[in-house]
Structure 1
Amino acid sequence: MQAIVVTPVKDALEASLETIRAVKQAQGTFSYWVFDDFSTETTKAGLQAAQKDMDFELVHLEDLTADPSPNYDKVLVCAQKEALKTGLPLIIVESDVTVQSDTFARLVSFAAANPATGLVGAITQDERGKVNFPYLKFKQEKRTGALQTQRSLSFCCTLLSNPFLSAYDFSNLDLDKDWYDTHISHKARELGFDNYILMDLPVLHRPHGSRPWKQLKYTNPLVYYFKKWFSGKDKI
Structure 2
Amino acid sequence: MAEILVITPVKDALEYTLQTAKAIKASSIALDHQIFNDFSSDDTTYSLEENKGRIGYNLINLEDLTDTPSPNYKLVLQLAQKRALDKKVPLIIVESDVEVGPDTLEKMYRFHKAHPKAGLVGAITVDQEGKVNFPYLKFSDVKDKQISTSRSLSFCCTLFSVDFLKSFDFVDLDDSKDWYDTTISQTALRLGFQNYVLMDVPVLHRPHGSRPWKMLKYSQPIKYYWKKFWNSKDKI
TM range (shorter): over 0.9
Query: In the TM superposition, what is the alpha-carbon distance from 1:49 to its structure 2 partner?
Result: 1.1
Q: Does 1:130 align with 2:135?
A: no
What does 1:141-160 align with in structure 2 at a 5 Å threshold? Answer: 141-143=142-144, 145-160=145-160
Residue equivalent to 1:66:
67
Deviations along 1:25-84, whole A, 9 cap, x unmatched? Answer: 111100110000000111011101111212221000000000000111111000000111
- Which letter maps to 1:18? Q
In the alignment, which residue of structure 2 is the partner of 1:114? Answer: 115
Match of 1:221?
221
Matching residue of 1:4: 5
Is residue 2:201 matched to residue 1:201? yes
CA-to-partner distance for each residue in 1:147-179, whole Å, 9 max, x for gaps? Answer: 111100011000000000000000111111111
What percent of counterpart residues are identical? 55
Which residue is equivalent to 1:167? 167
Superposed CA RMSD: 0.8
1:13 lines up with 2:14 in the alignment: yes
- 2:85 maps to 1:92: no
Structure 2 unpaired stretches of 5+: none
Deviation at 1:221, TM superposition (A): 2.5
SS in 2 for 1:95: coil
The question of 1:82 aligning with 2:98 is answered no
Deviations 1:202-236 (A, max 9, x none): 00000111111101222233322222222200000
Give the equivalent residue in structure 1 for 2:232: 232
User: Which amino acid is 1:74 matched to?
Assistant: L
TM-score (norm. length: structure 2): 0.98
User: TM-score, normalising length from structure 1?
Assistant: 0.98
How many pairs were matched up? 235
Counterpart of 1:31 in structure 2 is 32
Instruction: Write the distance in 2 (CA, Å) between the matches of 1:67 and 1:130.
Output: 38
Corresponding residue SS for 1:164:
helix
Deviations 1:6-27 (A, max 9, x none): 0011101111000000000111
Report the Cα distance in structure 2 between the residues aligned to 1:30 and 1:139, rounded to whole angstroms. Answer: 30
**Partner secondary structure for residue 28 of structure 1:** coil
Q: Which amino acid aligns with 2:74?
A: D
Deviations 1:68-119 (A, max 9, x none): 0011111100000011111110000000000000011000000000010000
